[in-house]
Each structure stands twice: as C-alpha cells, then as structure tokens.
Amino acid sequence: MKIIKDSNKTKTFRIIHAGALEQIVEKCLEQFSKQNSGLKFETNAVGSREAAKQLLSGEKYDIIALADQALFAELLVPDLVENYFVFAADQIVIGYDRSSKGSQQITQENWVEILLKPQVSFARSNHHLDPCGYRTLMVWQLAEIIYDKPGLSTMLESASIPYSVYPKSLDLAGALFKGKVDYAFLYSSQAKQLGLPYIVLPSKINLSSPAYADFYDQAAVSVESGIPGENEIIHGKPIEFAIGIARSTDYLEFAKSFIDLLTGVEGNLILEECGFIPC
C-alpha cells in the first residue's frame, strides 16, 4: 500500500458505507491508519439507499461503499461519483439465536413452515433504505415460484410487518440478541461475523449465484427513487458490494490508496475473514 504524506492535518477523511460493511471498513482503516497516521477518519454506517440519498442531499464524503453496485449507476454516477468497483459477493440467509422459537427444528426445507407459525416472529430491514430489505422481499418472491406456493411472498410480508422496523440489516442482529425477534433475514457475512447460527437458503433464491441471474430477475420490488415522492422498480440480481470515490473529495490520492487496500491482497484476506467472497 502506498504511503501518502499530506501537510493538511485539519480535514477529516469521511467514509459512508453500508451497515453490513462495518467490520470491513474498521479493519481496513486499522491497516490504512498505520501508514497514514496524520489523517483523521470519520465513518457513517447506514442503509445503502440512505447513504446514496445523503450524497444526493449534499452531504460530503470521500469514499462511498454500498451493498448494491446498482445504486451507483442508478443514483450517483456520473454526477457525484465518476466510477465504482465491485469488490465482494454475498447471499441472504436466515439468522437466529439459540433461544429462537423453533430453532431446533428449522431447516432449509421447512423454514417457510416455521416462520409462518403464529408464535414465531421474524423481521427484515427497510426496503426503502437498505438493499438487504428489498433483497429479502425478492427472496420471498422467488421462494413462491420454486416452492409453487401462490401468495407465499404476501403471507411472509404480512407476517413480518409488526417487526420490520429496522433501518439496516445490522440492526436486525441486535434485535435477535435482545430477543425482540426469533429470526432475521441477513447477509451470511453478518451472521458469521456475529457468531449467529443461520439457515442457508437454496442458491436459486438466495441471490448468490450468477448462474441464476435470469431467474433472480423475475423478482421485483418498488422502492423510493432519488426523486422525492417517486418510486422505481428494482429487479433481482446476484448480490454485489461496490465502492467509489466522491467527485468532491479533496483527498483523491488517499481515496485511491484506500480502495487499493480493500481490493488488494490485504483487503481480500479481511473480506474472507469477515465472511464475504472477494470479487
């Protein structure tokens, strides 16, 4: 990694990122700060759509790391970000706690049956703020197709409504630990990082495999667009995390160096350690 010297010690290097990337960013900054000790850092972990909206509203950041690469093309490129880089893949899983109702019985085959029991609670994140939220809705739509259960996605959405109040997927993990919900739809990397047991869903619905990209495309969710008061339709696709540099940054060389770290050997080791699949 290149060491950069800079005489301006007053400005803070700001990173806004998906909540699912919190450990990744922290671990990369540990390495990055050793080589750039004169630089101050500030990070903000939010849902990825919320992150994009903050930039659109005029908030200034140097690095943007999001849980859905499509958000860059949709909302940020070319006005706010020149280009972006896909650096990791993941999948949607069902996380739970050992005390969760039905945790001794739930499997990849019967998860629908367990979640729809009246005494069981489960949650997802807000699909207008967080890609994990709309990806969860897509998983439910795809499950309806492969299990041939008309109306399944609507049933799952209705059953989860009382508990679907979390801005980002990382908040769901806290709800699990506190016993507020029995199950939560998360990224597998989050479950691994937090030591949560989880159910791996079939590849045909968990949004992990490029081989099923055409099948994933059948799922579609309406979300708030970058224009206030308007919605847009997002289609299912394999999960990809991406990072970009804000056009407004005053620290271009630092930003490039940080991305080099994340996408290089050190970064790949950190990604694998945190349960991601480096791209």
pLDDT of residue 10: 52
> Chain-centre distance of CA 244, in angstroms?
15
For residue 199, list its beta bridge partners.
94
**The Cα angle at residue 260 between residues 254 and 263, in degrees rounded to 5:** 140
pLDDT of residue 173: 87
Please tell me whether residue 252 adopts helix, strand or coil conformation.
helix
CB of 242 closer than 8 Å to CB of 85? yes
Residue 212 DSSP class: G
d(CA 268, CA 279): 9
pLDDT of residue 4: 42
| 17 token code pair | 């990122």
Residue 232 vs residues 47, 124, 132, 229, 274: alpha-carbon distances, Å: 17, 20, 17, 10, 32
Please tell me whether residue 221 adopts helix, strand or coil conformation.
strand
Residue by residue, pLDDT tens for the chain (279 residues) are 333 444 445 579 999 999 999 999 999 999 999 988 888 999 999 999 999 999 999 999 999 999 999 999 999 999 999 999 999 999 999 999 999 999 999 999 999 999 999 999 999 999 999 999 999 999 999 999 999 999 999 999 999 988 877 999 989 988 999 999 999 999 999 999 999 999 999 999 999 999 999 999 999 999 998 888 899 999 999 999 999 999 999 999 999 999 999 999 999 999 999 999 999
Angle between helical axes of 252-263 and 22-35 (0-180°, round to 10):
120
| 14 token code pair | 């700001």
Angle between helical axes of 131-146 and 152-160 (0-180°, round to 10):
140
d(CA 250, CA 228): 29
pLDDT of residue 263: 96
Could you give all domains of the chain from N- to C-terminal order, each with its CATH number?
Answer: 12-89+240-278 (3.40.190.10), 92-224 (3.40.190.10)
pTM to 2 decimal places: 0.92
pLDDT of residue 228: 82
Residue 151 vs residues 94, 108, 110: alpha-carbon distances, Å: 20, 20, 17
Within 10 Å of residue 141's Cβ, how many Cβ atoms?
Answer: 21
Within 10 Å of residue 191's Cβ, how many Cβ atoms?
Answer: 22
Spatial CB neighbours of 8, under 8 Å, sequence gap ≥ 6: none
Residue 245 vs residues 54, 72, 81, 147, 222: alpha-carbon distances, Å: 15, 11, 6, 42, 28
